[in-house]
Amino acid sequence: MADSPATDVDVVVVGAGMAGLFALHHFRALGFSAIVLEAGDGVGGTWYWNRYPGARCDVPSLEYSYGFSEELQQEWEWSEVFPAQPELERYFNHVADRFDLRRDIRLNTRVTSATFDDEARTWAVETEQGDRFVARFVVMATGPLSVPNVPAIPGRDEFRGTVLQTSRWPDGDLGLEGKRIGLIGTGSSGVQTTPELAALADHLYVFQRTPTYTWPSHNGPLDPEVQEAWKRDYVECRRNQRRTFGGVTGSTGAIILAMPGERAILEATDEERLAMVDERGFDASRAWSDVARDPEANELGAELYREMVRRTVKDPELAESLSPRGFPIGCKRPVIDSSYFETFNRDDVTLVDLRKGGIERITETGIETEQGHFELDVIVFATGFDAMTGALARIDVRGRDGAPLRDEWAAGPRTYLGLQVAGFPNLFTVSGPGSPSVLGNMVVSSEHHVEWIGACLVHMRERGYATVEPTDDAQDAWVEHVNEIAQGTMFIAPTCSSWYVGANIPGKPRVFMPYVGGLPAYIDRVEEIVANDYEGFAFT
C-alpha cells in the first residue's frame, strides 16, 4: 500500500453476522489482516439475536448458505426447506470454527465511533469498552435489520412481569409455559412467533395495529434428492442465484410464492378468480400478471387474499379484523408463516384489534388500551427494526474533515451502489442502502459485496493507491437512479408505509432505501463500472 501508514490491522470489520464472517475469511485469503468487532457474545448476527420461538428464515436453506467454499457446501447438511434459527446459528458457528475465524473476532465489543484521519489516511475505530483500532479500511457489516425498534409506549418500565423483544431474545428456558402473554406487532417476527407462543401460553393476546399479508411457507423436511442435486453442481446453482432477481432460484423444493402468472386478474371473471382461490389458496392473490403493477388489479388480488382469511378464520368478525385493507400487496416485505391464521381459531388466543382502540400505556400488570385493560405476565415486543440505516446511525462515523455521516444522511441515505459514501474514503458498507440487499437473498448479496470489496482492495494494493471513495457526481446519479426505478412499484404507493421507506421510525426521512432493479441488473452494472476502470470512484 502507498505510504504504509502505521495501523493495527488492514481492515476492521464491524459485525460477525453472515457478511462479517465471510469478510474475515475472504480478506485473510487475499493477504490482508483483519479483525471483526461484534457487539453480541456469539457469531451469526441476525441468527444470534433473533432466537424467539418460531424464528425461521424465509429463504430456503440451500439458497441461504455460502457459496465461497465447495468443501463447506459438500459437508453441511440442511434438514428443512426453510431453516429455523437454531440450525442457522449452528451453521454460522460451524463456519467460524471450520475457517478458524474466532481468533480474529472480538465478541462483546460494541463499536461507538469510526473517525477518518485525513493526514494519515487511516480510520480509528473505538468501542464501548474503550478499545481503539487503527486500520486502513473499515467494512460495516452491521446488517440492515439489526437495531430493534422499541416503541415509546408510556409505562414500559412499570410492568412487573417479563418484557421481551423478539430481536433480543435471551437464550435458555424463559418459563413462558402457562403464562398470559401479550404480543405487540404482527410483522414477520410477530406472525412467526404467534403459533409458538400460543402453544406455550395460558392465553395469548396479539395486539395488532395493522393486519398483515402473510403466505403459508409449506415448510417441511428437505428432500435428500434435492440436496444431492445441489451438491452435484453447486457452481451452477450459485451462478443461477446471481442471475435471478432476488437471488433465490426456487429449485430447492420450496413452494415459492406464486410468481406473476400469465393471466391478468382484471380480465378474469369473478368465477375464475374464486376458482383460483380454490386451487391455490392464499397464493391466488398474487397469481396474476397485473397484481404487482396495477393498483386496481392489486386490490382485486387483495380481495382474494381476504377471501382466504375468511375461509380460514372461523369467526367472521375476527376474520375481518385480520384482513389487510387500504394498502397494496407487495408494499411491505411478504411474510411467510406456519398456521398463523389458524392459530386465531384457538380459544386461548385473542386478537386485540388496535384500530378499535389503541394502546394507551403499559401498567404494572399489563397493557391499558382504549378498549380496556389486559392482565399479562409477559409482554413481547415484535415491533421491528430501525432498518438499513439504524446501525450506522448509532455509530459516530466521521469522514473527511470530521464530517458526520449522520449529517450526510439527515435527509435519507446516499451511497454509490450501496457500497461507499462520498466523503468517507476507505469505508465500505455491505448490503448498504442503494443496493438490492433486503429485497433478496442476503447471503448472495453479502457474498457479492464482500468479494467486490476484496477485489477493490487488491486493485488498490497493486496500484499503490491509499484511498478510494465515490465522486459526488457518481453518487448523485446512483441515488437518482435508485429513486427512479422504484417509481410505479407498490413499495412507494401513497398508501404504503413500511420500514423500506423508514415509515416505522418516528422522524425518519421517508425515502425508499433499497435498489429495486434486481440482482442481475445490479451485478451487471457493478461489473461494468469495474471494467470501466472503477468509473465513479476516485483513488488517491
Q: Which residues bind ligand N01 (CB under 6 A)?
A: 56-58, 145, 151, 153, 184-190, 192, 207, 209-210, 333, 336, 359, 382-385, 438, 499, 504
Closer CB to ligand N01, 206 or 457, in the complex: 206
Closer CB to ligand N01, 53 or 187, in the complex: 187
Residue 390 is placed in which grid cell?
439504524
Do residues 165 and 313 lie in contact, with contact meaning Cβ atoms separated by under 8 Å?
A: no
Query: What DSSP letter does each residue of 34-82 carry, written as one string?
Result: EEEE-SSSSS-THHHH---TT-B-SS-TTTSS--S-HHHHHH----BSS
| Distance between CA atoms of residues 396 and 502, nearest Å | 20
Query: What DSSP letter does each residue of 404-446 carry, written as one string?
Result: BHHHHTTTS---BTTTB-TT-TTEEETT-TTSSGGGS-HHHHH
Closer CB to ligand N01, 431 or 504, in the complex: 504
Residue 125 is placed in which grid cell?
475505530
CB of 333 to ligand N01, least distance (A): 4
CB of 384 to ligand N01, least distance (A): 2
CB of 524 to ligand N01, least distance (A): 25
- Cα-Cα-Cα-Cα torsion 151, 192, 518, 291, nearest 10 degrees, comes to -100
Closer CB to ligand N01, 24 or 88, in the complex: 88
Q: How far is CA 72 from CA 91, 165, 221, 238, 327, in A?
A: 10, 33, 21, 14, 43
Question: Where do the H-state alpha helices sit in 175-247?
Answer: 188-200, 224-232, 234-242
Query: What DSSP letter does each residue of 320-386 carry, written as one string?
Result: HHTS--SS-TTSSPPEEESSHHHHTTSTTEEEEEGGGS-EEEE-SSEEEETTEEEE-SEEEE---B-
| Distance between CA atoms of residues 230 and 209, nearest Å | 42
Closer CB to ligand N01, 374 or 537, in the complex: 374
Do residues 115 and 402 lie in contact, with contact meaning Cβ atoms separated by under 8 Å?
A: yes
CB of 125 to ligand N01, least distance (A): 27
Which uninterrupted H or E stretch holds 291? none
Residue in 415, 386, 394 with CA at minimum distance from that of residue 515:
415
Which position's Cβ is nearest ligand N01? 187
Closer CB to ligand N01, 502 or 536, in the complex: 502
Closer CB to ligand N01, 105 or 359, in the complex: 359
Closer CB to ligand N01, 353 or 469, in the complex: 353
CB of 355 to ligand N01, least distance (A): 9
Amino acid identity of 335?
V
CB of 498 to ligand N01, least distance (A): 8
CB of 334 to ligand N01, least distance (A): 8
CB of 336 to ligand N01, least distance (A): 6
| Distance between CA atoms of residues 495 and 498, nearest Å | 10
Closer CB to ligand N01, 101 or 191, in the complex: 191
CB of 154 to ligand N01, least distance (A): 11
What is the chain's length?
540
- Relative to beta strand 378-381, strand 162-165 is parallel
Closer CB to ligand N01, 10 or 63, in the complex: 63
Closer CB to ligand N01, 52 or 234, in the complex: 52
CB of 431 to ligand N01, least distance (A): 12
Closer CB to ligand N01, 185 or 517, in the complex: 185
Q: What are phi and psi of 469, to 5 degrees?
A: -160, 160
Cross-strand pairs, 117: 122
Indicate the burial class of 267 (C-beta count within 10 angstroms; 0-12, 13-18, 19 or more): exposed
Closer CB to ligand N01, 381 or 428, in the complex: 381
CB of 137 to ligand N01, least distance (A): 28
Q: What are phi and psi of 297, to 5 degrees?
A: -65, -40
Do residues 501 and 427 lie in contact, with contact meaning Cβ atoms separated by under 8 Å?
A: no
Closer CB to ligand N01, 32 or 47, in the complex: 47
CB of 192 to ligand N01, least distance (A): 6
CB of 59 to ligand N01, least distance (A): 7
C-beta neighbour count of 217 within 10 angstroms: 23
Q: At which residue does the C-alpha cell 476502470 appear? A: 533
CB of 405 to ligand N01, least distance (A): 23
